[in-house]
Each structure stands twice: as C-alpha cells, then as structure tokens.
C-alpha cells in the first residue's frame, strides 16, 4: 500500500507541475534486453517496458521470437498482459512501468497460462485477401482469451517471418486487454510494440467449444 501511495504522489506532482520524465528508448527483436539513449517524454507519460513473444506454426515445425521495447508510455498502458492468435500465429505480450527520471522498469512477465485451451472458440481465418475470409472453421482460445477479433489491411512484419504476406485478413482469439488498447486509440503502440494493425476490431465474446465433434481449426502448438 505504501508503494502505491508513493507512486500516486509522484504522478500527482508530475500532473501539477507539467514535469516530463526522461526515459530510455530502444528496441531489440532478438533478445531479452535493449539499450539506447534517453529522451524527454510527453508530459504525464512514464518509462515503459514491453515484452512480446511471437510464435509461428507451419507443417511439422514452429518458431518463437521475442521483441523487447523500452519507451515513453501512457500510464493506461502500464502493467498489462495479454495475447492474441489466428491460424498459424500467436503472440503474448506484457508491460511494466517505472515513475522516476531515467528509471529502469522491472522486466515484464509474459502470461504463463498459454499451454492449454480454455474451452472457448472463435471463428478463424488467415488469408492474403484483405477483403474476405472463410469463417466456416473455428479455433480454440487459450489462457485469458475470451474475445473474438478481426484485423485486416497491412500488418507489420515480424522481422524473421519475412515470408508472411503483409496485406491480409485474420480472425481469431484475443484477450480483453488487447481490445482495451484498441479502444484507447493507441495506434502507435499497436503497430510498433504488439505487431498488429490499428484496424483491429473486437467482434464478440468467444463461445464454448463444441462437444459434438464439430469442425474446429486447432493450430499446431
């Protein structure tokens, strides 16, 4: 409780004085840390640290890649965790923040409940055509993914997945935290740190997985 009060006091001083922090700005697509220069943040932003894990699946194999980013963060984007997936791809992310000049945030912890489906499903597709998608199949959701989402248009490329087409339409599962970021209109956060397009829409609640042997598009894990 004491630490929370201290943070609130620091933030209230920033708000009252218009003081801006200096925070490290860096990005690493192939490791767990990064380093770079310090930059003055916009007023009322704090020092953020985002970790993302991208997993791509193809026939008989899978590949994981990590991305770490330190940046000036809107306070609404502190201490978030989440995930999203569509056929052949999934991603998890986590963020942390600190609240003093040139501070170093704690390394965020990625969600650890992603090894087992949660009994919910969403319509699933991945197509090079950004205007249409076959939604006859469904896929299982994992962890805290309870929302079905759609994204279309030019998606940012994960560096080592250069064969993935950029102009696509996808449907799959997501956590509510991803939808919250969309609702905050934080497009640059979406594009740069979580690797999705700002056209993303959260469509509906995920539904219980059918028990009658109906079609389901289970990705390889």
Residue 16: the pLDDT is: 43
On whether residue 130 sits in a domain, the answer given is: yes
Whole-number Å distance between alpha carbons of 62 and 84: 17
End-to-end CA distance of the chain: 40
For residue 213, is it within any domain? no
Residue 36 forms part of a structural domain: yes
Task: Let me know if residue 216 belongs to a domain.
Answer: no
Q: What is the residue range of 21's domain?
A: 2-208
- 214 lies in a domain? no
How many residues comprise the chain? 221
**Averaged pLDDT score across all residues of the chain:** 79
pLDDT tens per residue across span 126-163: 887 667 788 899 999 999 999 999 987 766 555 555 44
CA dihedral 7, 10, 12, 15 (to 10 degrees): -120
Split into its structural domains, the chain has a count of: 1
Q: 68 lies in a domain?
A: yes
Q: Tens digits of per-residue pLDDT, 189-220?
A: 665 667 666 677 888 888 887 654 444 444 44
Write the pLDDT tens digit of every residue in 72-104.
988 888 999 999 999 988 889 999 999 999 999
Count of CA atoms in the C-beta half-sphere (13 A) of 65: 17
Q: Is 38 among the domain residues? A: yes
pTM over 0.95: no
């Amino acid at each position: 409780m004491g630490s929370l009060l201290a943070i609130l006091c620091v933030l209230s001083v920033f708000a009252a004085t218009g003081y801006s922090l200096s925070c490290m700005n860096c990005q690493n697509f192939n490791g767990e840390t990064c380093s770079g220069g310090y930059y003055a943040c916009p007023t009322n932003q704090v020092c953020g640290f985002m970790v993302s894990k991208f997993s791509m699946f193809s026939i008989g194999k899978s590949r994981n890649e990590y991305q770490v980013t330190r940046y000036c963060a809107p306070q609404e984007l502190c201490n978030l965790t989440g995930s999203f997936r569509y056929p052949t791809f999934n991603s998890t992310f986590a963020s942390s923040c600190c609240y003093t000049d040139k501070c170093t945030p704690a390394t965020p912890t990625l969600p650890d409940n992603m090894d087992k489906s949660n009994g919910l499903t969403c319509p699933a597709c991945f197509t090079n055509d950004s205007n249409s998608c076959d939604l006859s199949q469904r896929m299982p959701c994992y962890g805290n993914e309870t929302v079905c989402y759609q994204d279309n248009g030019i998606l940012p490329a994960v560096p080592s997945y250069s064969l993935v087409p950029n102009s696509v339409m996808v449907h799959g599962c997501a956590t509510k935290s991803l939808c919250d970021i969309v609702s905050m209109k934080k497009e640059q956060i979406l594009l740069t740190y979580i690797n999705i397009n700002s056209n993303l829409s959260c469509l509906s609640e995920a539904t219980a997985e059918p028990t009658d042997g109906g079609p389901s598009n289970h990705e390889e894990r």
